[in-house]
Structure 1
């Protein structure tokens, strides 16, 4: 084979390899919370709050903020449905607890406008669901007498399911 043909073949192989590598990065694989796990988290959250005497609603969203599971305790107020959803959405979106975000917005003028993002609710009770380093969803809780208590219920539930998050 002469040199120009070898060169052309080599360049074609290099080009095909580069194209294959570029295309392989075009499709992402993402970890996400399953329906079964979302139901476990919601149930464990409501149970944790009920054990402390709080009637709450727990909403679990996937990594994109879409609702996967909702459980509302007997006697939980009607406002708790939307509050828990918004807290879960905010936490999943920011990949942070809503309590930490609320505190940051109160102390840091640069973060004060977080409250103006449509769909954000900066009250304690939204907690990211992490599998390793990946945020795969979030749980939002509404109805305890304080966002810090809502967050405690969510954290207790996540502790119960931590084996499934490895």
Structure 2
């Protein structure tokens, strides 16, 4: 019974839509009025810049004796580049990705989010978020175009400094 009803609905729907969406012949074409502009222009982080930032972040931490991984994501949290020191632990790649994703999503330092965790504990429940220091947004003309996450140093604040210094170096060129 249900299958027959669904089949009848499926067969009659195109005819019903055609009848309800066909404008009267005398009306002629109507101009489309858009409430907003049809396109948005946004700055983007290039792949070349992302690769350089990831490599510099790993090198910055290596100079301090720490084996880390660094992930750079675009403004939507999609991975652009990953660099990992040869002796970095297996957990560092995932930690760096999640810190970068968290920072890009929140448009904020993950260390600042850690400070807000007491008043907003649900931050830690957002899928994909890792609310630990080490995620830094990449800003161009005050717009977030991506983020960097570093994982593997003994302190998230060290991870954060390695990332921030890499961003500064690349964006100052």
Would you say same fold, with TM above 0.5?
Answer: yes
Matched, 1:148 2:157: yes
Q: Does 1:129 align with 2:141?
A: no
Q: Deviations over 1:62-104 (max 9, x none)?
A: 0000000000001000000100000000000000011110111
* Farther-moved stretch of structure 1 (95-104 vs 27-36): 27-36
**TM-score computed with the length of structure 2 as normaliser:** 0.79
- Misfit runs of 4+, over 2 Å: none
Greater Cα radius of gyration, structure 1 or 2? 2
The structure with more helix, counted as a fraction of residues: 1
Partner of 1:8: none
The answer as to 2:57 corresponding to 1:45 is yes
Task: Structure 2: state its 5+ residue gaps.
Answer: 1-29
Gaps of 5+ in 1: 1-14
Deviation at 1:158, TM superposition (A): 1.2
Cα root mean square deviation, aligned: 1.7
2: CA distance, partners of 1:24 / 1:44: 41
TM-score by length of 1: 0.82
In the TM superposition, 1:1-166 aligns within 5 A as: 19=33, 22=34, 25-106=37-118, 108=119, 111-164=120-173
